[in-house]
């Protein structure tokens, strides 16, 4: 990897020991400081004449990049500018993001990352992470060992089949693991020297991708069935051998595969699915705080979920866990949840229901009492009128699904309806926040998956909250890394939700919504990490020694983007 972080025994200061000189040092983004290399470093690393004469402060480099960033017209152009910086200078890239969090997080991840994935093969500049093709299924371990860092802390892997609400993007889905790991570093200080994005390329059923002459992935239909599972099994076995202590995160897999892989491997290595568990935990943190503000007990709520994908699976599961904590049985808790998909309300009258939907299917006898036009397909608005939910969640990736009738019915049933159109990207959001506020007469508590500007209504400004995984998964990664957690359990995600909720301001729903502040993301991640570690110790998945000065240990482990002195070592 051409460098290592060491401690000067005299001063006890960290420094970077590098093993390359000249242009090789300038081309390595983990080493490169550009014009900020000092005189000593320029002499020692053979950089004389390769840089302009003036030695620049990091602050000046940041200003130069911000001027260029502001001058770009589109979010995609801003993304390409930031990726160029990422490829040149890892430290400066993260410092730039940290200094401009609210402007840059929507660029490096949602909503811009959706467009990035759709155009990935056309804007591709430099490889990052690992691409493991089905045609390389017998060489997976060799590929993993080819990564330039020997001990990654976090792997984010996707097969590109269900990218956000955009569907199958094939190898172009690599934009998701890259962006996700940026947020691990940005949000929780997971060192960029220890993050590994991986794309499992098993082909794509997206004809547009396969027929695109610039497409970078395997140009074949997706491998499915036993062949697919054998490939995934081989990948996991190789990861367990090569990186036995790594945290493996599954990202944007098709719902059936997402649920299957999580169940298959969660007791064999430290792994989780962010679309399921991360989404559920972030959602629950929002609900905890909103209900606290409303002084409404959890057990008095009824939830209607529109959409039955991986996110719905996670949200429903976390809601059930929270209800059980309040003393309800599993069966009673599950009855607090209704689910609507493209065929209407999920009921036991349907044949061949998958296990997840069957769990929340409403009894035929119950539905017989509903007032509706067609009992074979009970609509979203009809379910609201009959079930009288207090919380409406959108994970359908269907823009406009929460229309005026739906929102008005929620407002008729509830003084303060909680409406959460959380599908990403923004173009797939079930309802625009301004419409939810207006149609509810300003009474709805609204949160989305991507950031939205505040809404003006009747002279009042309403903040729009975010049920975004970004407020959960970085802290999970930090907790696993610092606590050497061996397994992740649902209780740890419940603990994470409570930790995040405890950091959110009280009374924030008075005019709008619970709204985590992106500027406070590292404080949230610190709290989440500490609670996850405590939970892991209590369950026997981490050693109790870590609890000594836990908060200080976690904080000290968070990487901060600053230039270290560089020394050449042979």
Which residues are identified as catalytic? 109, 180
Beta bridge partners of 344: 341
The closest alpha carbon to 268, from 314, 232, 224, belongs to 232
d(CA 26, CA 22): 7
Tokens of 514: 């619970």
Beta bridge partners of 421: 394
Strands of 391-394's sheet, edge to edge?
A: 344-345, 337-341, 303-306, 391-394, 418-421, 445-448, 465-466
Per the CB < 8 A criterion, the answer to whether 533 and 554 are in contact is yes
d(CA 260, CA 167): 18
d(CA 497, CA 61): 38
The closest alpha carbon to 91, from 124, 66, 128, 61, belongs to 61
Q: Where are the beta strands (DSSP E) in 299-442?
A: 303-306, 337-341, 344-345, 391-394, 418-421
Work out whether strand 445-448 and strand 418-421 pair parallel, antiparallel, or are unpaired.
parallel
d(CA 322, CA 141): 40
Give me the helices (H) in 277-325, please: 279-294, 310-325
d(CA 449, CA 109): 11
Three-state helix/strand/coil letters over 438-486: HHCCCCCEEEECCCCCCEEECCEEECCEECCHHHCHHHHHHHHHHHCCC
d(CA 490, CA 272): 9
Per the CB < 8 A criterion, the answer to whether 7 and 62 are in contact is no
Q: Greatest CA separation found in the chain?
A: 83
Q: What share of the chain is helix, strand, coil (3-state, %, to 5)?
A: 50, 10, 40
What separation in angstroms does the CA of 24 have from each of 37, 46, 88, 169, 556? Answer: 14, 10, 12, 34, 31
d(CA 424, CA 447): 12
d(CA 441, CA 460): 12
């Amino acid at each position: 990897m051409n460098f290592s972080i060491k401690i000067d025994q005299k001063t006890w200061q960290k420094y970077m020991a590098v093993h390359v000189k000249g242009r090789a040092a300038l081309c390595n983004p983990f080493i490169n400081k550009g014009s900020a290399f000092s005189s000593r470093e320029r002499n020692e690393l053979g950089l004389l004449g390769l840089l302009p004469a003036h030695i620049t402060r990091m602050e000046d480099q940041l200003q130069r990049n911000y001027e260029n960033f502001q001058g770009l017209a589109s979010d995609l152009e801003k993304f390409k500018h930031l990726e160029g910086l990422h490829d040149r200078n890892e430290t400066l890239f993260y410092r730039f993001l940290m200094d401009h969090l609210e402007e840059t997080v929507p660029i490096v991840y949602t909503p811009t990352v959706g467009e990035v994935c759709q155009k990935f093969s056309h804007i591709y500049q430099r490889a990052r992470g690992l691409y493991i093709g089905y045609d390389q299924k017998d060489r997976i371990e060799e590929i993993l060992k080819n990564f330039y860092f020997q001990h990654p802390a976090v792997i984010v892997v996707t097969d590109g089949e269900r990218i956000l609400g955009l569907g199958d993007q094939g190898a172009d889905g690599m934009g998701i693991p890259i962006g996700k790991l940026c947020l691990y570093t940005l949000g929780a200080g997971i060192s960029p020297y220890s993050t590994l994005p991986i794309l499992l390329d098993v082909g794509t059923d997206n004809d547009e991708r396969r027929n695109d002459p610039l497409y970078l992935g395997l140009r074949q239909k997706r491998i499915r069935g036993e062949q697919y599972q054998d490939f995934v099994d081989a990948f996991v076995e190789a990861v367990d051998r090569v990186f036995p202590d790594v945290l493996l995160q599954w990202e944007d897999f098709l719902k059936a595969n997402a649920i299957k892989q999580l169940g298959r491997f969660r007791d064999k290595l430290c792994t989780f699915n962010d679309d399921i568990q991360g989404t559920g935990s972030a959602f629950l943190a929002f609900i905890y705080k909103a209900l606290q503000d409303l002084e409404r007990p959890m057990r008095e709520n009824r939830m209607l979920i529109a959409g039955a994908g991986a996110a719905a699976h996670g949200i429903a599961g976390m809601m059930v866990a929270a209800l059980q904590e309040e003393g309800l049985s599993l069966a009673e808790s599950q009855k607090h949840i209704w689910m609507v998909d493209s065929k209407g309300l999920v009921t036991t009258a349907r044949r061949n229901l998958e296990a997840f939907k069957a769990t929340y299917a409403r009894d035929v006898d119950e539905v017989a009492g509903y007032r509706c036009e067609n009992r074979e397909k009970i609509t979203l608005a009809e379910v609201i009128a009959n079930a009288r939910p207090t919380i409406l969640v959108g994970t359908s990736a269907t823009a406009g699904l929460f229309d005026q009738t739906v929102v008005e019915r929620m407002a008729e049933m509830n003084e303060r309806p909680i409406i959460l159109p959380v599908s990403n990207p923004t173009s797939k959001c079930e309802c625009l926040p301004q419409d939810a506020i207006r149609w509810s007469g300003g009474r709805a508590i609204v949160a989305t998956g991507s950031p939205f500007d505040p809404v003006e209504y009747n002279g009042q400004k309403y903040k729009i909250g975010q049920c975004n995984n970004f407020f959960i998964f970085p802290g999970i990664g930090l907790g696993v890394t610092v606590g050497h957690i061996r397994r992740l359990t649902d209780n740890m995600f419940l603990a994470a939700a409570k930790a995040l909720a405890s950091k959110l301001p009280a009374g924030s729903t008075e005019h709008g919504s619970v709204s985590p502040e992106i500027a406070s993301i590292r404080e949230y991640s610190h709290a989440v990490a500490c609670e996850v570690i405590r939970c892991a110790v209590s369950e026997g998945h981490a050693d109790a020694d870590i609890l000594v000065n836990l908060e200080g240990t976690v904080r000290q482990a968070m990487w901060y983007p600053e230039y270290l002195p560089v020394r050449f070592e042979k």
